[in-house]
Chains A and B, each alone.
Chain A
Amino acid sequence: MLGLVGVTLGTAVGVLPGIGPALTISLLLPLTFGMDPVGAFILFGGIYYGAMYGGSTTSILVRMPGEASSVMTALDGYEMTRQGRAGAALATAAIGSFVAGTFATVMLMLTAPALVELALGFGPTEYFAIMMLALTALGGMTGGAPAKGAFATFLGLAIGTIGIDLQTGQARFTFGVPGLLGGLNVVVVTVGLFAVGEVFWHAATHRVSRETPAPLGGPVRLTGDDWRRSVPAWCRGTLLGFFTGVLPGAGATVASFLAYAAERRVSKTPAAFGHGAIEGVAGPEAANNASAGGSLVPLLALGIPGSGTTAVMLAAFQMYGLQPGPLLFSQESGLIWGLIASLYVSNVLLLVLNLPLIRVWVLLLHVPRSLLFAAVLVFATLGVYSLNNNLFDVAIVYVLGVMAFFMRRHEVPLAPTVLGVVLGPLLEQHFRRALAISGGDPSVFLTRPVSAAILALTAVVVIVPLLVRARAARGTPRSPRESA
């Protein structure tokens, strides 16, 4: 039931441009406070998968991608619509998403326990190393200038240091304000950066004109030729998407770009791409759904998010006093398996719900954007207010919203900041715990093999993009903005 609500809501936010899964889940966090955690996560899982699918509908019909991850779908999807093949494009996106989502969930089920097995032997040293990897990977891969990604990450870490130091009881950066002693609530930070900042940004940049949805031509089904061309594209997209999703920092946008590039490379008729090639829809749509499943693997097995949306989900776990990771798998296995089961159900629901309901989703585009964004501000305010029943948190949301506006203005990515806020305190604790165990000897990070290997990988993640950039200093195409 909650899965149904989640999928419906997820598809709706996927269809609506500017409102992504990270924003929706952060708005819902305060509302689910009184709910049972299993229900809340079933809801969030449905939203995540639904949003990945919903973005395709608007890309195909109006060439207006709801999410960064469906930008590639718009290229060939909209062309197909203009040729009167919108039905086939929507069908290949829906079935591809289903295939990819199901496969990714199976893989999640198979790989997560194995990873847990490995992670049980991890100490603070290893966790510190993995968190360093997640932070550097997301900071470096969000596109745009690497300096800005780095600054965004440090900014998040800096926000994370506000409050009482857990090990010594020393107050840091509180300026004598009692409301800051407990640190900034992660919910407050995500709502401020994603929701309020987004509305301000919308106010400053929205265009008054609106594209009208193209009429939905043709039946919603695939011909034999479509199937023959779609199936291999789904499979490639799924595999590529899942593994891209598991890597911290890469995420759905990168996955869909890689899938599109791969389809064009293996195609016998690369010239057809951009002119309505069905593989150009099937591959990227499978890839972005598969990457959503893939990104849940490190979140559930290690407790380490690799993207904006999973960072918000980690915040949700923390809100319930749960720390995802190897222990959660053994202690709260009901929760984990409930979540995984709900992902299967969500997938089936997506397929059943969406093929007949495509016309309804298109109607959503007629909801006036102005009222929608005004309502987002109200939800943000009330949700945050109800956390602690005080307006102080709302004031912080306001400040962060203004900050997010200027970050958007200067093309500084937001996702690394949220990840920094979530991981910063954990990073510091693990670091200090590791040193306390080793008696203050910092070489412990390099002498334990797993931690040394991960830190070496982190160094590679930092250095390689810099070298690539230095070599191709001129004429580099700009990457799209951060993925959700």
Chain B
Amino acid sequence: MPPDRRLAVGLIAGSAAYLFGAFQIGAPEGQYAAVGPRLFPLVIGLGLLTSAVWIGVAATAEVRRSPVRWGAAASSALAFLAYIAALDVVGYLPATAAFLVLESRLLGSRVWVRDVIVSIAITVSVYGVFRLLLGLRLPAGLLG
């Protein structure tokens, strides 16, 4: 099966779910409106469905794609998720410094000492700009 056809199957399922959600929107009671809140989602849902089917129909067998390293993408994504979760727990400063070192390594950097120094420098200077210059609140956590 051409990859675009597999994609289309997924998209059709998603579009159908959206369309189902659009049908669930209730009509408001006793208000005058020429067009209710349901019409647009319904039209958009039909549009999604139609273009998803169209992608499936137009799919051809030829595949010429650059190879994707799934492992690298997934580990980056996981590291970022862990970072978001850690922000509220341990606070901005330690979480960010650790994340920068880890993520730059995941993205292919191989120079430990430089990475650590630059990561700490970025962390501190961003802290300075956000917190001290702009007065924005950063996630504090335990150690923030």
Q: Which residues of A contact B (CB under 8 A)?
A: 31, 34, 145, 147-148, 150-151, 153-155, 157-158, 161, 165, 167-170, 172-173, 196, 199-206, 208, 368-371, 373-375, 377-379, 381-382, 385-386, 389, 391, 394-395, 398, 401-402, 405, 409-410, 424, 428, 431-432, 435-436, 438-440
Contact = CB atoms under 8 A, between A and B. Distances in A.
Contacts of B70: 204
Given A147-B51, A386-B136, 9 more contacts: A145-B4, A151-B52, A161-B41, A168-B36, A203-B73, A203-B76, A204-B69, A374-B99, A382-B130
B77 interface: yes
Contacts of A405: 73, 77
Contacts of A202: 107
B47 interface: yes
A150 B109 contact: no
B108 A208 contact: yes
B105 to A, nearest CB: 7
Interface in B69-128: 69-70, 72-73, 75-77, 80-81, 83-84, 87-88, 92, 96, 99-100, 103-109, 111, 114-115, 118-119, 122-123, 126
Given A169-B28, A379-B126, A381-B87, A145 B33 contact: no
A442 to B, nearest CB: 9
B108 A205 contact: no
Contacts of A385: 87, 138-139
B21 interface: yes
Contact of A382 (B77, B106, B138): B138
Contact of A431 (B3, B35, B69, B107): B35
A373 B100 contact: no
A322 B138 CA distance: 27
Main secondary structure of the interface of B (DSSP, over half): helix
Given A374-B103, A382-B126, A440-B34, A151 B73 contact: no
Contacts of A145: 4, 55, 58
B52 A389 contact: no
Interface string B49-67: 0111011011000000011
B73 A204 contact: yes
B33 A432 contact: yes
A378 B83 CA distance: 9
A203 B72 contact: yes
3 interchain residue pairs of minimum CB distance: A370-B107, A204-B73, A370-B109
B45 A34 contact: no
B68 A378 contact: no
B84 A200 contact: no
B73 to A, nearest CB: 4
Contact of A199 (B52, B66, B76, B118): B76
A148 to B, nearest CB: 6
Nearest to B84: A394
